[in-house]
Amino acid sequence: MTFATKSAARRLLAGAAAALAALAMLPAQASGLAVLACEPEWAALAAELGGERVRVSSATTALQDPHRIEARPSLIARARNADLLVCTGMELEAGWLPVLVQQSGNPKIAEGRPGHFLAGAFVKAIDVPERLDRADGDVHAAGNPHIQLDPRNIAIVAAALARRMAELDPANAAFYDGRQRDFQSRWSAALQRWERLAAPLRNVAVIEHHRNMGYLLHWLGMRSVGTLEPKPGVEPGAAHLSSLVARLQQQPAKMVLRAAYQDGRASQWLSERARIAAVAVPFTVGGSERAKDLFGLFDDTVARLLEGAR
């Protein structure tokens, strides 16, 4: 290789290195969004809408109570690098999200900024309390925050989230819109299938572990006739459980429901004594082997409820 050829090769390598360095310095918008979701359902939805253009992680898993999470250093680091924070709101994360946002020092995801997205702001809340009293237990002033249990809410949030992603990442706006349209088409077809399969569940009575199944029951036309917890957030004791057995003799129920993250011992106790099914629903993505994504979440939930109602 001649001196001139070597010089040309060095210039070519230097130019390539400079180009790679320039690409690395481009803002996040050019390569998609870094999304931190507070719950697995919103991580799954962001992945559906963003595909390969987003990098998504969840602050919690399906086997964790989303009310009670610690803002650990590893989670703070993810928040520090996020372009978009997607949470439920409605006080669900009130015990840890403000600390997480503050400790991250990331202005993009601060409350009130476009990178701070609260799904609960886009749907109609149920179970909004008429009064607030600490004696009533762990009650959410904004209503029941577990909006992900009604797939119609998922569709509403999907449209709003796609718009927000496009706002933050205009270079990929058409991509997000196309993904959102495709998701809505598949979701609508799945919704019709779930409602057709779940028709036998209408007016079926259940006992809830915690009063967190309201959106699911409302969607399917089911009825809650009691809770294992004497008050929200208060673990069930022997006296309360015994009173439920007596109540069920007068007001029968088909099953006792709990979320995957909740302790199953009280449900099993009541199931055995009242001779009703104990059903653990996945509650969110990852809550069961079948609930690997949003579609699997409702496939498995409807199947488990139908089995429990037999």
- Return d(Cα 97, Cα 235) in angstroms, integer: 24
Question: Has residue 102 been placed in a domain?
Answer: yes
Question: Has residue 19 been placed in a domain?
Answer: no
- Return d(Cα 284, Cα 53) in angstroms, integer: 23
CB of 48 closer than 8 Å to CB of 178 = no
CATH of the domain at 47: 3.40.50.1980
Per-residue model confidence as pLDDT tens digits over 243-296: 999 999 999 999 999 999 999 999 999 999 999 999 999 999 999 999 999 999
* Phi and psi at residue 171, to the nearest 5°: -65, -25
Clarify whether residues 187 and 267 are in a common domain. no
How would you write 205-222 as a 3-class SS string? EEEECCCCCHHHHHHHCC
Of the candidates 210, 206, 237, the residue with the CA atom closest to the CA atom of residue 144: 210
Token pair for residue 219? 């969607």
Clarify whether residues 41 and 157 are in a common domain. yes
- Return d(Cα 265, Cα 72) in angstroms, integer: 29
Question: Has residue 4 been placed in a domain?
Answer: no
- Predicted pLDDT of residue 232: 83
pLDDT (average), residues 61-74: 93
- Predicted pLDDT of residue 53: 96
- Predicted pLDDT of residue 133: 62
- Predicted pLDDT of residue 136: 56
Local structure of 250: helix, strand or coil: helix
Clarify whether residues 189 and 254 are in a common domain. no
Q: Is the pLDDT score of 213 beyond 90?
A: yes
Of 164, 179, 194, the last residue of a domain is 194
Per-residue model confidence as pLDDT tens digits over 183-195: 999 999 999 999 9
- Return d(Cα 117, Cα 37) in angstroms, integer: 9
Local structure of 125: helix, strand or coil: coil
Clarify whether residues 246 and 174 are in a common domain. no
Clarify whether residues 55 and 103 are in a common domain. yes
- Predicted pLDDT of residue 24: 33
- Return d(Cα 71, Cα 116) in angstroms, integer: 17
Q: How many domains does the chain have?
A: 2
Of 142, 164, 194, the last residue of a domain is 194
Domain that holds residue 174: 30-194
Confidence of residue 137 (pLDDT cuts 50, 70, 90): low
